[in-house]
Amino acid sequence: MSKKKLASNLFFAGGIAELLVAVVHFLMPFTIAQAGEIANLPPAYQDYVFHATIAVGFCMTAFGLLSIHFSRELLAGKRFAWVFCLSQGILWTARVVSELMLPVRVPMFFLANPTVVILPLVVAIALLFLVPSLILWKDLLRNVQLYTGDQS
């Protein structure tokens, strides 16, 4: 399998993973509503938590669909697809860091301590974007001309 094909397949898998994360976020309000801590919040705060969770689901849907689309563009050698893949890798790496700093401790989906599942998953998703970015970085940055302001 060529480097481009491998990178494209990993990028595609990252998009599928993001769509699965979206589904989880759309279902999450129904599962965390039973958590005592959430149920004890005033209704306006509960609505805020649910809204934020659903908003993340919409963002993950958009990112997942864009990743799937750009995985084909990456195979065609389009630089913008590589930039998007790299940006997704950076986003998910930031999510890994945030999980390490502020682990999710709200029980959900029958998990008392969800961070033990979330952390390995976000590391895996980050790698689905970082590996293709690193595989192709030399090929896609070759012959890049930087704007220097000189018009001569």
Over residues 123-139, mean pLDDT: 93
- The whole-number pLDDT of residue 148 equals 62
Model pLDDT, residue 97: 98
Express each pLDDT in 69-107 by its tens digit: 999 999 888 889 999 999 999 999 999 999 999 998 877
Print burial letters for 45-66: b (CB count within 10 Å at least 16), e (below 16): ebeebbeebeebbeebbebbee
- Is the per-residue pLDDT at 24 higher than 70? yes
Residue 21 phi, psi (nearest 5): -60, -40
Q: Which tens digit of pLDDT belongs to each residue from 107-116?
A: 777 788 889 9
pLDDT at 40: 83
Comparing 31 with 141, the larger pLDDT belongs to 31
How much is the pTM? 0.86
> For the chain, what is the total number of helices (H) and then of strands (E)?
5, 0
Average pLDDT over residues 44-56: 92
